[in-house]
């Protein structure tokens, strides 16, 4: 227990993560020294996680307006108009550090938190997607090298051996077998946690992506996106108003869990002692949240609720001060009235608790009863704990005695904003690494193709997605594995919504701006492949320590890339989250911006999956770029591909050059083709190049194969098959529609190449008439379908 | 004819069931709150999937004590049609309205996927519109769907023709031992659904209410709802002619 009566010193402020300047700022705001409760309040609200103090000035550069945008960043979630009086409410958020410390609860409460952000606005959540990043779960090529290096040092001097391993470790790729096993356990815990929460809450988990890189070994990423639907005229906002209106606490009781989750866990790097932070991880109860959802939506329908906000990071502190600040009002609460799970909690603990499944709302005075009745019906606590005032202050009483009194605006909005130093890396170490040797005559393309299919990055994610209920609420038209984006029909309308999350940390590491553009482009392309027009985006920016100038450089470059891409592709950013301090023992993760793009389909019947349909259909490659790659870039770009990583153990060079205009053309073309029912399947060309893309179109089908002949180009075979550059998609269509597709594509300025035919059950790719990759679809599918589960279950 | 869909705290397939019955097969349907004991006016009761009361302790173990289940038992004793889906099936087992018990999936993981089940008997109000041996494709989504009973009870189920659905391969072949492709949760004898001796109460783990529109993957679940409608229409006709 923390003694609230102790006098605050600069030393105690420092322990709370406040710098000397920040502490001085609190003294200036109050005109006196803060007491311990007030210090706690400042420390969480001014933490990086809650205040965005390092990112705010840069985030302003993001495009946030557009014809569909109803609510941009600044509320609990973004809101876009989808027609018929309906809005889509969506946001992505990270829960990275808790998921490393306690994977199951960390991931579960990550899902719980983002769901509350959605229903606190009056929207019923209808889908969740998860973007996950882990360290390797199988020994990797780069590591084999390191091990043979270690082995070559042999049994010599122990010190010498260690040195070899250490240098291998510096070599980026090294991950020990113990770490690999731990990565599997983290993945398993995260997946079970996501399933535990979403399955019980009753929201389908419909998509997302999973990638593996050594840099995530000690800092996995768990980003959860949630989507909800509401009527436009029934949205709720977190703006307290009406002096004298009651402030009501609803939901779970407050306990000591999660204290300082936001400030200490989310806003600092990991050290050797991070496991000791387990008590800072919140504990989730999806059943309670399901009740809270139903009760909140029902209470909102009474018309007696003025404002509402969930208690997420910084719990009661953030919800009360933010509602007051946004509404230009004050709030006074008495902690003695807060439902408590434990006895003897101090004001400090109650204000900072991050117990889950709680909400704070403002009701109309005189209509409290209507609100209480709804919550009682659902068996939940509802307690009037205070009232709206006109003095602009957050006043916290404890049994009538003032425990804290701070201007609400100062807590919520007056956190310091830093223009942190920015420094471009003198030289990007990965860009200096040796490149893949091309034109390798000896490359066994058939064997390498199979290795690629079995690699965790490319193998089927079925083992993961089957653990999620992807169908509850019966809206899932295209679910996990069914297409490039998840597609949800909206009952009682003709519409459907498509969603995709994407991000390539490796590319952002090599060139942050181009990598970030690719993240936007790929997410938008995926949405377009499903037949929907991309209309808005949300982003989760996962980076290292912002106090390091190189990390800030990666961050600002990424923001520039996202801004440019979102402008060109007409997908304004409506919200999201910044997660800094993703590093352990001083080693940052790859800069990993994750983009969630939302698309609208006016007719759900236009939804397109990725699977080939009928034997004899034509397989076409749509290419927005048209011109071939410049040779001098070929090798550098190929060295950053999934193939280079899996087969050669190389992660170097630079991401493929990106042409946003070409991306836009391809997107427009795909949307038109779907709207006119001109194509039967669409799948964008990404990880693993054309070879893997075509194979995936077969794997998801009811058993058809493909016979593909790639025409002569001047690129080496490996690049033709496995090269990854943007603005391309593989589509299939009936022979009778071929001319129509060609006509529409020409109108959109997209090149169409017929590359093959849907075959009965065999898979073959020829290069200019010479067969280079072949096998039965059944045998290839087995490799692709089983390898992830086998790898994970090996050591569980 | 009126269907009732019971809402427990934690039910999460209640809206889906209401949609399937009300919007897809267009029959009158209403929710019944878990504290209600009022069954009059209802001709068939559906216990939907979800996590009733959080499924603390054991799936369905708390729900069986709810006020509504007293009324459901009485309704069933009176011959009313009761169908439990997923968590609803688990509740019927816990309440003793159906024989057997549910264990965790053999591989101890939650599983959501399309499965194939074979109609083992058409002599129930839930399958009378189906063909015997008909293969239905429907999704499952559960952690505890591994049906179990002792040898004597299994023999009794077989003897009385109470096994309504079995997990099979897409082509109708029965699942072998540890054949998780066909029998995903390892259920005893591939049992996916059973009925009581009186045949008016049935439960199954797959979700027919999620398989009523081909745009969402399958409409094979319709045959179960349509069987119930047929049965109720027949009963009404019989009452009228009597």
Shortest CA distance to A641 belongs to which of A569, A690, A596? A690
Q: Which CATH architecture has domain A418-447+608-796?
A: Alpha-Beta Complex (3.90)
Phi, psi of A638, rounded to the nearest 5 degrees? -65, -25
Q: Which residue out of A357, A376, A460, A472 would a mutagenesis test of the B interface target, given it has the greatest number of B Cβ atoms within 10 Å?
A: A472
Question: How far apart are alpha carbons A727 and B16 in whole angstroms?
Answer: 39
In which element (H, E) is residue A307 found? strand A305-310
Segment A159-173 mean pLDDT: 41
Q: Quick one: residue A342, left, alpha or beta (phi over 0 = left, psi -120 to 50 = alpha)?
A: beta
- Give bridge partners of residue A747 from the DSSP assignment: none
* Residues A236 and A93: beta-carbon distance below 8 Å: no
Is A491 near chain B, with CB under 8 Å? yes
- From the CA of A87, how many Å to the nearest CA of chain B? 20
Question: How far apart are alpha carbons A378 and A563 in whole angstroms?
Answer: 44
Is A188 near chain B, with CB under 8 Å? no
Active site residue B142: no
pLDDT band of A748, cuts 50, 70, 90: very high
Question: How far apart are alpha carbons A26 and A18 in whole angstroms?
Answer: 10
Phi, psi of A310, rounded to the nearest 5 degrees? -80, 155
Q: Starting at the edge strand that comes first in sequence, how are the strands of the sheet with A533-542 ordered?
A: A476-478, A486-489, A496-502, A592-601, A533-542, A573-579
Shortest CA distance to A522 belongs to which of A624, A653, A431? A624
pLDDT band of B78, cuts 50, 70, 90: very high
Question: How far apart are alpha carbons A490 and B43 in whole angstroms?
Answer: 30
Segment A253-268 mean pLDDT: 75
Q: Which CATH architecture has domain B3-241?
A: 3-Layer(aba) Sandwich (3.40)
- From the CA of A62, how many Å to the nearest CA of chain B? 37
At residue B107, the pLDDT reads 92
- From the CA of B177, how many Å to the nearest CA of chain A? 20
In which element (H, E) is residue B4 found? strand B3-7
Question: How far apart are alpha carbons A606 and A604 in whole angstroms?
Answer: 5
Averaged pLDDT score across all residues of chain A: 91
Shortest CA distance to A139 belongs to which of A455, A407, A361? A455
pLDDT band of A392, cuts 50, 70, 90: very high
Question: How far apart are alpha carbons A406 and A421 in whole angstroms?
Answer: 31
At residue A313, the pLDDT reads 83
Residue of B nearest to A293 (CA): B10
Q: Judge whether residue A145 has pLDDT over 90.
A: no
For A161-170, A368-377, B51-60, B210-219, which range has the lowest pLDDT when averaged over its residues? A161-170
pLDDT band of A626, cuts 50, 70, 90: low
- The DSSP output letter for B180 is T
Question: How far apart are alpha carbons A528 and B82 in whole angstroms?
Answer: 44
Shortest CA distance to A482 belongs to which of A494, A502, A499, A506? A499
At residue A146, the pLDDT reads 45
Question: Which residues of chain A are within 8 Å of residue B109 when distances are taken between CB atoms?
Answer: 192, 466-467
- The DSSP output letter for A767 is E
Residues A735-755, buried b or exposed e (16+ Cβ, 10 A)? eebbebbbebbeebebbbebb
A/B interface, count of CB pairs below 8 Å: 83
Residues with Cβ < 8 Å from A33, sequence gap 6 or more? Answer: A7, A8, A27
Residue of A nearest to B216 (CA): A477
Question: At A87, is the secondary structure helix, strand, or coil?
Answer: strand
Question: Do the two domains A10-53+238-413 and A418-447+608-796 of this chain adopt the same fold?
Answer: yes
> Degrees (nearest 5) of the Cα angle B111, B112, B118?
95
- Segment B181-221, tens digit of pLDDT: 999 999 999 999 999 999 999 999 999 999 999 999 999 99
- Segment B118-144, tens digit of pLDDT: 999 999 999 999 999 999 999 999 999
Question: Which residues of chain A are within 8 Å of residue B110 when distances are taken between CB atoms?
Answer: 192, 195, 199, 467-469
Question: How far apart are alpha carbons B92 and B75 in whole angstroms?
Answer: 13
Question: How far apart are alpha carbons A287 and A124 in whole angstroms?
Answer: 16
- From the CA of B100, how many Å to the nearest CA of chain A? 24
Of residues A439 and A53, more confidently modeled: A53
At residue A154, the pLDDT reads 34
- From the CA of A540, how many Å to the nearest CA of chain B? 28
Shortest CA distance to A354 belongs to which of A266, A416, A275? A266
Question: How far apart are alpha carbons A601 and A496 in whole angstroms?
Answer: 5
Residue of A nearest to B218 (CA): A477
At residue A164, the pLDDT reads 36
Segment A391-401 mean pLDDT: 96
At residue A492, the pLDDT reads 87
Question: How far apart are alpha carbons B154 and A532 in whole angstroms?
Answer: 51
Q: Judge whether residue A143 has pLDDT over 60.
A: no
Shortest CA distance to A228 belongs to which of A73, A89, A114? A89
What residues of A are labeled active site?
49, 95
* Residues A220 and A135: beta-carbon distance below 8 Å: yes
Subunit contact A290:B10, Cβ cutoff 8 A: yes
At residue B38, the pLDDT reads 93
At residue A633, the pLDDT reads 78
Residues A570-587, buried b or exposed e (16+ Cβ, 10 A)? bbbbbbbbbbbbbbbeeb
* Residues A520 and A564: beta-carbon distance below 8 Å: no
Question: At A145, is the secondary structure helix, strand, or coil?
Answer: helix
Segment A171-188 mean pLDDT: 87
At residue A736, the pLDDT reads 96
In which element (H, E) is residue A36 found? helix A36-45
How far, rounded to the nearest angstrom, does the alpha carbon of residue A175 sit from its chain's CA centroid?
A: 24
Shortest CA distance to B89 belongs to which of B22, B185, B220, B23? B185
Segment A526-543 mean pLDDT: 98
Averaged pLDDT score across all residues of chain B: 97
Active site residue B86: yes
pLDDT band of A160, cuts 50, 70, 90: very low
Q: Starting at the edge strand that comes first in sequence, how are the strands of the sheet with B135-142 ordered?
A: B29-33, B3-7, B44-47, B81-85, B201-204, B191-195, B163-168, B111-119, B135-142
Residues with Cβ < 8 Å from A795, sequence gap 6 or more? Answer: A181, A184, A185
Segment B158-187 mean pLDDT: 96
Question: How far apart are alpha carbons B64 and B96 in whole angstroms?
Answer: 9
Question: How far apart are alpha carbons A625 and A642 in whole angstroms?
Answer: 21
At residue A524, the pLDDT reads 98
Q: Which residue out of B11, B66, B110, B145 would a mutagenesis test of the A interface target, given it has the greatest number of A Cβ atoms within 10 Å?
A: B110
Question: Which residues of chain B are within 8 Å of residue A195 when distances are taken between CB atoms?
Answer: 110
Q: Judge whether residue A491 has pLDDT over 90.
A: yes
Segment A154-180 mean pLDDT: 53
- From the CA of A354, how many Å to the nearest CA of chain B? 21
At residue A281, the pLDDT reads 75
Q: Which residue out of B8, B12, B56 would a mutagenesis test of the A interface target, given it has the greatest number of A Cβ atoms within 10 Å?
A: B12
Question: Which residues of chain B are within 8 Å of residue A467 when distances are taken between CB atoms?
Answer: 109-112
- The DSSP output letter for B190 is G
Helices (H) and strands (E) in chain B, counts: 5, 11
Q: Judge whether residue A629 has pLDDT over 90.
A: no
Is A187 near chain B, with CB under 8 Å? no
Segment A2-12 mean pLDDT: 76
At residue A4, the pLDDT reads 54
User: How do B81-85 and B44-47 pair as beta strands?
Assistant: parallel
Catalytic residue among B34, B116, B142, B207: B207
Q: Judge whether residue A261 has pLDDT over 90.
A: no
At residue A144, the pLDDT reads 53
- Give bridge partners of residue B46 from the DSSP assignment: B5, B83
Question: How far apart are alpha carbons A152 and B74 in whole angstroms?
Answer: 78
* Number of alpha carbons in the 13 Å side-chain half-sphere of residue A565: 35
Shortest CA distance to A771 belongs to which of A700, A691, A656, A696? A691
CATH topology of domain A65-137+187-235+460-605: 60s Ribosomal Protein L30; Chain: A; (3.30.1330)
Residues with Cβ < 8 Å from A362, sequence gap 6 or more? Answer: A240, A241, A242, A245, A246, A247, A248, A305, A306, A307, A308, A323, A388
pLDDT band of A1, cuts 50, 70, 90: very low
Q: Judge whether residue A226 has pLDDT over 70.
A: yes
Question: Which residues of chain B are within 8 Å of residue A478 when distances are taken between CB atoms?
Answer: none
> Degrees (nearest 5) of the Cα angle B161, B165, B170?
135
Segment A375-392 mean pLDDT: 97
pLDDT band of A272, cuts 50, 70, 90: low
CATH topology of domain A10-53+238-413: Phosphoribosyl-aminoimidazole Synthetase; Chain A, domain 2 (3.90.650)
**Percentage above 70 pLDDT, chain A:** 91
- Give bridge partners of residue B29 from the DSSP assignment: B3
Phi, psi of A217, rounded to the nearest 5 degrees? -60, -45
Question: How far apart are alpha carbons A293 and A82 in whole angstroms?
Answer: 23
Phi, psi of A372, rounded to the nearest 5 degrees? -55, -45
What is the pTM assigned to this prediction?
Answer: 0.95
Residue of B nearest to A462 (CA): B113
Q: Judge whether residue A169 has pLDDT over 90.
A: no
Residue of A nearest to B53 (CA): A287
Segment A746-771 mean pLDDT: 94
Question: Which residues of chain B are within 8 Å of residue A531 when distances are taken between CB atoms?
Answer: none
Q: Judge whether residue A149 has pLDDT over 60.
A: no
Question: At B104, is the secondary structure helix, strand, or coil?
Answer: coil
Question: How far apart are alpha carbons A683 and A663 in whole angstroms?
Answer: 14
Question: How far apart are alpha carbons A91 and A55 in whole angstroms?
Answer: 18
User: How do A587-588 and A583-584 pair as beta strands?
Assistant: antiparallel
Question: How far apart are alpha carbons B241 and B235 in whole angstroms?
Answer: 10
* Residues B45 and B72: beta-carbon distance below 8 Å: yes
For A435-444, A483-492, A540-549, A695-704, which range has the lowest pLDDT when averaged over its residues? A435-444
At residue A153, the pLDDT reads 36
């Amino acid at each position: 227990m923390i003694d609230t009566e102790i006098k605050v010193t600069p030393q105690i402020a420092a322990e709370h993560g406040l710098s000397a300047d920040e502490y001085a700022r609190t003294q200036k705001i109050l005109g006196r020294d803060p007491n311990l409760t007030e210090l706690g309040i400042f420390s969480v609200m001014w933490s990086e996680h809650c205040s965005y103090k390092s990112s705010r000035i840069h985030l302003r550069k993001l495009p946030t307006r557009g014809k569909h945008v109803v609510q941009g960043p600044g509320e609990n979630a973004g809101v876009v108009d989808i027609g018929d009086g309906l809005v889509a409410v969506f946001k992505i958020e990270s829960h990275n550090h808790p998921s490393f410390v306690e994977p199951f609860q960390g991931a579960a409460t990550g899902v719980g938190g983002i769901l509350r952000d959605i229903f606190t606005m009056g929207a019923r959540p209808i889908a969740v997607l998860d973007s996950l990043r882990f360290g390797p779960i199988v020994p990797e090529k780069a590591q084999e090298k390191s091990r043979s290096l270690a082995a070559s040092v042999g049994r010599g001097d122990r010190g010498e051996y260690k040195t070899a391993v250490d240098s291998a470790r510096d070599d980026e790729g090294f991950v020990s077998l113990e770490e690999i096993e731990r990565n599997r356990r983290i993945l398993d815990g995260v997946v079970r946690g996501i399933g535990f929460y979403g399955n019980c809450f009753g929201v389908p988990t419909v998509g997302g992506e999973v990638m593996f890189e050594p840099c995530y070994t000690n800092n996995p990423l768990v980003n959860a996106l949630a989507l909800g639907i509401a009527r436009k005229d029934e949205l709720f906002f977190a703006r307290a108003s009406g002096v004298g209106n009651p402030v009501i606490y609803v939901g779970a009781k407050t306990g000591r869990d999660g204290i300082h989750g936001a400030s200490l866990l989310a806003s600092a790097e990991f050290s050797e002692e991070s496991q000791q932070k387990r008590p800072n991880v919140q504990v989730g109860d999806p059943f309670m949240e399901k009740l809270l959802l139903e009760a909140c939506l029902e209470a909102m329908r009474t018309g007696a609720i003025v404002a509402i906000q969930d208690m997420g990071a910084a719990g009661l502190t953030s919800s009360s001060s933010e509602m007051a600040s946004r509404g230009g009002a004050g709030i006074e609460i008495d902690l003695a009235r807060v439902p408590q799970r434990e006895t003897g909690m101090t004001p400090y603990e109650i204000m900072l608790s991050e117990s889950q499944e709680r909400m704070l709302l403002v009701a109309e005075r005189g209509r409290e009863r209507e609100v209480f009745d709804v919550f009682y019906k659902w068996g939940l606590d509802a307690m009037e704990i205070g009232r709206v005032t006109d003095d602009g202050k957050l006043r916290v009483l404890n049994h009538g005695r003032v425990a804290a009194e701070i201007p609400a605006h100062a807590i919520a909005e007056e956190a310091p904003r830093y223009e942190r130093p920015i420094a471009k890396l003198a030289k990007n170490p990965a860009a200096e690494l040796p490149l893949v040797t091309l034109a390798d005559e000896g490359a066994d393309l058939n064997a390498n193709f199979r290795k690629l299919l079995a690699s965790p990055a490319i193998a089927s994610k079925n083992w993961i997605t089957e653990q999620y209920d992807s169908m509850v609420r019966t809206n899932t038209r295209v679910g996990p594995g069914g297409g490039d984006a998840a597609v949800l029909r909206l009952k009682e309308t003709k519409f459907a919504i498509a969603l995709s999350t994407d991000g390539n940390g490796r590319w952002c590491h090599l060139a942050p701006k181009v990598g970030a553009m690719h993240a936007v482009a790929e997410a938008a392309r995926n949405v377009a492949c499903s037949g929907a027009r991309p209309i808005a985006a949300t982003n989760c920016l996962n980076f290292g320590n912002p106090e390091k100038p190189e990390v800030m450089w990666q961050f600002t470059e990424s923001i520039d890339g996202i801004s440019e891409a979102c402008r060109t592709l007409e997908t304004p950013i409506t919200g999201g989250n910044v997660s800094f301090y993703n590093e352990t023992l001083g080693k940052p993760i790859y800069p990993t911006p994750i983009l969630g793009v939302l698309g609208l389909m006016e007719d759900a019947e236009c939804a397109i999956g990725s699977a080939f349909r009928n034997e004899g259909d034509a397989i076409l490659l749509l290419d927005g770029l048209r011109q071939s790659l410049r040779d001098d870039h070929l090798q550098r770009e190929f060295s950053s591909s999934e193939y280079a990583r899996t087969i050669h153990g190389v992660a170097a060079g630079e991401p493929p050059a990106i042409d946003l205009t070409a991306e836009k053309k391809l997107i427009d073309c795909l949307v038109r083709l779907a709207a006119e029912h001109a194509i039967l399947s669409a799948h964008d060309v990404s990880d693993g190049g054309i070879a893997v893309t075509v194979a995936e179109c077969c794997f998801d089908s009811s058993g058809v194969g493909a016979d593909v002949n790639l025409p002569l180009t001047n690129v080496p075979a490996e690049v033709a098959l496995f090269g990854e550059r943007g603005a391309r998609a593989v589509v299939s269509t009936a022979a009778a529609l071929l001319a129509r597709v060609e006509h529409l594509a020409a109108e959109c300025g997209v090149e169409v190449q017929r590359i093959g035919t849907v075959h009965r059950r065999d898979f073959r790719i020829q290069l200019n008439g010479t067969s280079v990759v072949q096998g039965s679809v059944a045998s290839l599918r087995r490799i692709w379908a089983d390898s992830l589960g086998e790898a994970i279950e090996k050591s569980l | 004819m009126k269907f009732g869909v019971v809402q427990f705290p934690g039910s999460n397939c209640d809206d889906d069931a209401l949609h399937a019955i009300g919007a897809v097969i267009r029959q009158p349907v209403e929710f019944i709150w878990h504290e209600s004991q009022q069954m009059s006016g209802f001709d068939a009761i559906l216990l939907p999937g979800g996590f009733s009361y959080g499924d603390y302790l054991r799936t369905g173990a708390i729900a069986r004590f709810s006020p509504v289940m007293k009324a459901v038992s009485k309704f069933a004793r009176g011959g009313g049609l009761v169908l439990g889906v997923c968590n609803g099936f688990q509740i019927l087992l816990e309440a003793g309205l159906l024989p057997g018990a549910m264990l965790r999936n053999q591989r101890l993981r939650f599983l959501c996927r399309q499965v194939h089940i074979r109609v083992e008997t058409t002599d129930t109000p839930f399958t009378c519109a189906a063909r015997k041996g008909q293969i239905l494709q429907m999704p499952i989504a559960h952690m505890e769907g591994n049906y179990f009973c002792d040898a004597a009870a299994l023999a009794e189920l077989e003897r009385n023709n109470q096994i309504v659905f079995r997990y099979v391969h897409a082509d109708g072949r029965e699942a072998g031992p540890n054949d998780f492709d066909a029998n995903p949760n390892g259920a005893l004898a591939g049992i996916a659904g059973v009925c009581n001796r009186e045949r008016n109460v049935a439960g199954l783990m797959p979700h027919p209410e999620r398989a009523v529109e081909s745009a969402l993957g399958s409409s094979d679940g319709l045959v179960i709802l349509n069987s119930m409608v047929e049965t109720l229409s027949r009963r009404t006709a019989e009452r009228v002619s009597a």
